[in-house]
Amino acid sequence: MVWFSAALVLASLDLFEAGQGGYQTYRIPGLLTLGDGTVLAYAEARKDGAGDWADIDLVMRRSLDGGKTWTPSVVLTDEGTQTVNNIVAIPGKGKREVHLLYCINYARAYWRHSVDSGKTFSAPVEITTAFEALKPQYNWNVIATGPGHGIRLRSGRLLVPIWLSTGGRAHRPSVVSTLYSDDEGQHWKTGEIILGDLVNPSETVAVELRDGRVMLNLRSESDALRRAMVIGPDGARGWSQPTFVSELQEPVCMASMIRYPSQGKPILFANPDHVDAEAKSKRGRNSQRRNLSLQMSRDDGRTWRVVHRVDLGISAYSDLAVNRAGEVLVLYEKGGRNGNMFFTQSLRLETLPAKLFRE
């Protein structure tokens, strides 16, 4: 059954609103629940417009009660008028640990670490050298982590999808790979570039399958107008050829994915479930980003079904988390000023009941 009723929503809250805090808009949401139950919500805060190359800071809020109430927003990184972009959080080994990755000017990558549930973070350590290893294969001039959240594999490996481009501020052409650490962030390496017949793959999300393999779900500008999927043994190499997922429409937009932690452990996926009728005549251009929908797979990504329509209007990037009560949190870009889907009105948090995801 597909649920559309707003009555199912336990709570709805705008965590970051355009015009507040000295920022014209907030975009690129991220969400993560730590081992101690703390929920982190983070985003790009754009001072001088909606563009990706604006004066951008990184901001974060924290919740100690599963997403009901939140601390005030704090600035994590402010590099003057430079672009700070693509923040990604990854759960650490300890219950209060979290790793943080981000880029500056889509050219340099950094790692920070917290042992107090995101109250404070260590000084930034540059890890761009990990990306340099891919230069002989792909002479990039743009790098980007995530966005959204990274994952911690059962092996302890920290894993984040990345994308690279040779197109400068155009963000295309592009390719996709992964960034990983096997020693709690002390050293980072890049995986193999994912090969196959995809047009400009970019923002990608990852999940560990039941058998320990890693599945990536990729955004691309391919004519199939569907999300692509690859599977590899360890999240770094040996990737399968990309295949398109028939149930998952691709309006050329970031998506989010997470494994529900109990009751059969289904995989949840959210993106704008919409493709314009004329999209095939607009290769490389976005369809309207609307109808953000939450889908679920109980067979490790082989089939999907919609379980909730989050927002029928303009709705774009999102991230997912599950709190200790089993409720699913959806943080997403809601609305657009004057109908502009790139000028987000707010980053809204929606809380959904556990009963939707349990057998």
Cα–Cα distance measured from residue 207 to residue 263, given in angstroms and rounded to the nearest whole number: 17
Provide mean pLDDT across the span 230-234: 98
> Which of the pair, 170 or 283, is modelled with greater confidence?
170
Please say whether the structural domain 6-356 has been given the CATH code 2.40.50.180.
Answer: no
Instruction: Report whether 199 contacts 220 (CB < 8 A).
Output: yes
Residue extents of the structural domains in the chain: 6-356
Give the pLDDT of residue 170.
Answer: 87
Q: 116: which residues sit within 8 A by CB, 6+ positions away?
A: 96
Give the pLDDT of residue 282.
Answer: 61
Helices marked H in the chain — which ranges?
Answer: 128-132
The torsion region of residue 329 among left (phi > 0), alpha (psi -120 to 50) and beta comes to beta
Query: What is the DSSP track for 313-358?
Result: EEEEEEEEEE-TTSPEEEEEEEEEGGG-TTSEEEEEEEEE-GGGT-
Residue 279 DSSP SS3: helix
Q: Which sign, positive or negative, has the C-alpha torsion 228, 233, 235, 240? A: negative
pLDDT in tens, 105-159: 999 999 999 999 999 999 999 999 999 999 999 999 999 999 999 999 999 999 9
Residue 51 pLDDT level (bands cut at 50, 70, 90) = very high
Looking at residue 132, the DSSP 8-state letter turns out to be: H
Find tokens 């890693």 and name the residue: 214
Give the pLDDT of residue 277.
Answer: 72
pLDDT in tens, 298-349: 999 999 999 999 999 999 999 999 999 999 999 999 999 999 999 999 999 9
Give the pLDDT of residue 287.
Answer: 87
Cα–Cα distance measured from residue 230 to residue 197, given in angstroms and rounded to the nearest whole number: 12
Q: How many Cβ atoms are within 10 Å of 111's Cβ, its own excluded?
A: 24
pLDDT in tens, 250-277: 999 999 999 999 879 999 999 999 999 7
CA 196 to chain centre: 22
Cα–Cα distance measured from residue 205 to residue 59, given in angstroms and rounded to the nearest whole number: 21
Q: Considering the chain, what is the average pLDDT of its residues?
A: 95
β-bridge mates for residue 314, sequence order: 290
User: What's the alpha-carbon Rg for the chain, to the nearest Å?
Assistant: 18
Query: What is the DSSP track for 9-23?
Result: -SEEEEEEETTGGG-
For the record, the structure tokens of 9 come out as 């929503």
Beta-carbon-side half-sphere exposure of residue 54 (alpha carbons within 13 Å) = 20
